[in-house]
A = this chain, B = another copy of it.
Amino acid sequence: CIIKWLKSTIILLKMLHYIETYRQRHPLRGDHIAQFKEKYFTQILDHFNYNSLGNGTYAQRYLITDQYWKKDGPIFFYTGNEGDVWDFALNSGFILELAAEQRALVIFAEHRYYGKSLPFGDESFNIPNIGLLTVEQALADYAVMITELKKELGAGKCPVIVFGGSYGGMLSVYMRIRYPNIVAGALGASAPILSTAGMGNSGQFFRDVTADFENCSTACKDAVRSAFQKLQALAQQEDYAHIQSAFSLCKTPSSPKDIHQLNGFLRNAFTLLAMMDYPYKTSFMSDMPAFPVKVACETMLNGTDMLLALRDTVGIVYNSTGEHACYDLYSLYVECADPTGCGLGFNSFAWDYQACTEVELCFESNNVTDMFPPMPFTESMREQYCAKRWAVVPRPGWLKTQYWGDALSTASNIIFSNGDLDPWANGGIRKSLSESLIAINIPEGAHHLDLRASNTADPDSVTKARQKEAQVIAQWVKTAREKTV
């Protein structure tokens, strides 16, 4: 009897082992979450001043999984951006799928001043503590972390590939041009390295948001524009009660400032709908239905009152679960130095600071090339705001000096991927610059769709993009390994 029991136990264990092995090789979506270990790295606080307040260290969070790693396999390192690192880890399944395929160690590093990587805890956003939040410090963090973790893990020969989306994609690109001694290649997904370096057009962003809705239907774009115009007319008549009731506002607006806030709140919903226009339900920057732009246009064109339609459309973003009986404008949207939105909570402070210093985001809507009310945001408005909010003077052109702008001829091993649906795309590199500076454009792609896990609803274009990315990255790894052997 005992022998029988032992036999069946062994069979059971073998089965479990088989399943586990299979699962590791063929990860499923949603299966990745539990695999990461959350750790903290003792990081140098100020890489560029030996006598500053930052003469110390802080605890930088990172997530790591070696479940796919084979000895001497590559390291896939996500250069965290403006948010909690889990948000990126849970929305970048492609990196894990690729890791399973290429037997890579995966690390997601959290950007200083975001998530739980707060150098001064709750005091991190005070002046002058906030001063240690710069792109250069963040890159140095990653350079040091990679160097040290490789030593710790005995992974000295493992080629490192960096990944990132949006600002994280910019960081990935920067890592490769700044630290090619440490990083063998970079996938910068939806990385607007030109527009944020002051090399774009101030009307580009909201023009491209508008284009997404116009592509859905011209009537949709026209309806949005008309609704904003009607709002403007009511505001000019100071018919604030009507505005409150039409938009279900918790408080009656009482000034042009409130109307400005309302316009920002409304416009921001369209920004998010356009950026997150994925072909399936997602919960990244907010909860979104599949094809949110299409859903928004249907809502916009449904019903007879255009203001109510506009309210319901932004409700897709702000009220997906119906938790708001009314909208509190100032808590649901925070105006900041980034007209495309700073998010809410701690992150909004940090990102606002970055938009006030290095990252140029002087995007405006003008109601000529876009469907939104004219909302200028000039360099001088930025200066005024930033001096008052953070006691800083923004440095236009600095990212161009530091990270080369479009003068990338000496760079190599970078993929610039962009989705045509993404309003950030045209602030990035859209044409290959050389054999190893590769632009991949994804016609049906929104904001870094390619970084997301594969999905049955994926358009062919993103599947092909991921295949191309996988192939290029495998080649980088191969070449890098040949060099170190």
Contact = CB atoms under 8 A, between A and B. Distances in A.
Interface of A: 44, 46, 48-52, 55, 127-128, 130-132, 134, 136-137, 140, 143-144, 147, 178-182, 356-357, 390-393, 395, 397, 400-402, 404-405, 407-410, 412, 483
A410 B410 CA distance: 8
A379 to B, nearest CB: 16
Dominant secondary structure of chain A at its interface with chain B: loop
A390 B52 contact: no
Given A49-B49, A50-B392, A407 B181 contact: yes
Contacts of A44: 395
A127 B51 contact: yes
A391 B391 CA distance: 28
Query: Most chain-B Cβ atoms within 10 A of its Cβ — which of A181, A395, A397?
Result: A181
A231 to B, nearest CB: 37
A408 B410 CA distance: 12
Given A404-B180, A409-B483, A51 B390 contact: yes
A400 to B, nearest CB: 8
Contacts of A131: 49-52
A132 B49 contact: yes
Contacts of A52: 49, 52, 128, 131
Given A50-B393, A51-B391, 12 more contacts: A48-B134, A50-B134, A50-B395, A51-B128, A51-B392, A55-B392, A143-B401, A143-B402, A147-B397, A179-B401, A180-B404, A180-B409
Given A147-B401, A401-B143, A401-B144, A410 B49 contact: no
A357 B48 contact: no
A49 B51 contact: no
A152 to B, nearest CB: 15
Q: Top 6 nearest A-B pairs by Cβ distance?
A: A51-B131, A181-B407, A181-B404, A51-B128, A50-B392, A180-B410
Contacts of A392: 50-51, 55
Contacts of A409: 180, 483
Query: Most chain-B Cβ atoms within 10 A of its Cβ — which of A48, A134, A400, A404?
Result: A48
